[in-house]
Structure 1
Amino acid sequence: MKQFILGAMLAAGLCGMAGAQSTPPEVAKQQEREIARGEPARWLKDDRGMQAQVATKRKEIGAALNEALNDCKKMSKSERGDCVKEARATYKQDMANVRELVAQSNELGKYDTAGPSE
């Protein structure tokens, strides 16, 4: 779950489109049907080793790139080129630093972010 949240944050931050929804409508409907059935067990299962965590992070970085490129397509032609260039640069940088990103995700997981318990 931690990896999903970080990936979503990365995707939202690309191209200055924080909070923008770039999921195609047909995919969003499929996601709604899947979520209605409950969370898949794989969402709650931690990646066990560094190799599995790196593989997951690579998938997330790729998904963030796809979302950013979809957002770029919605921009005016004059803005689109810079957006695509920025998205690809971020992808390249994130892939080059994938192990550091995994380590940062693991550090974030050490802290309780649920708020004060009563």
Structure 2
Amino acid sequence: MNKLVATPLTALLLACAAPWSLAQTGTPTGTPQAGDPARWYQADSTPQAQLRTLHKEIGAALGEAKKACRQEAPSDRSACLKAAQDTYRQDMANAQALRDAAHPK
């Protein structure tokens, strides 16, 4: 795998995952802004809800990675998209372990 492709994707996925692990622990934090739905400030209370949220965030990270790949040179775009898809598959396969690490018992 091309290091130039892997490094930005890794950084992007870590940037997406880090706030999730902090935002979903304990009581909700942050001050609601005008127009924000109240559900944005409610913690996921069950492992199933936490896993559902993680799946959504992994999908969103794939979308962001694909968007970044479209900015690459055409010669690098295919490898970038393949790396993004591989990372998505790996994260989805490891979703339960990621959820367990973010929410220890």
TM-score range, shorter chain: 0.5 to 0.7
- Aligned-partner SS, 2:92: helix
Which residue of 4, 14, 39 corresponds with 2:9?
14
User: How many pairs align?
Assistant: 80
**4+ residue segments displaced more than 6 Å:** none
Q: Residue 15 of structure 1: CA displacement? A: 6.2
1:89 paired with 2:86, answer: yes
Structure 1: which amino acid aligns with 2:50? Q
Which residue does 2:25 correspond to in 1? Answer: none
Q: Distance in 1 between matches of 2:74 and 2:62?
A: 19
- Unaligned regions of 5+ residues in structure 1, if any? 1-12, 19-34, 108-118
Which residue does 2:68 correspond to in 1? Answer: 71
Structure 1: which amino acid aligns with 2:39? R
What TM-score do you get using the length of structure 1 for normalisation?
Answer: 0.59
Q: Deviations over 1:63-103 (max 9, x none)?
A: 00011001101110111111101100000000001111111
Structure 2: which amino acid aligns with 1:96? A
Cα root mean square deviation, aligned:
2.4
Which residue does 1:9 correspond to in 2? Answer: none
- Unaligned regions of 5+ residues in structure 2, if any? 1-7, 14-31
Distance 1:83 1:17, change over 3 A: same
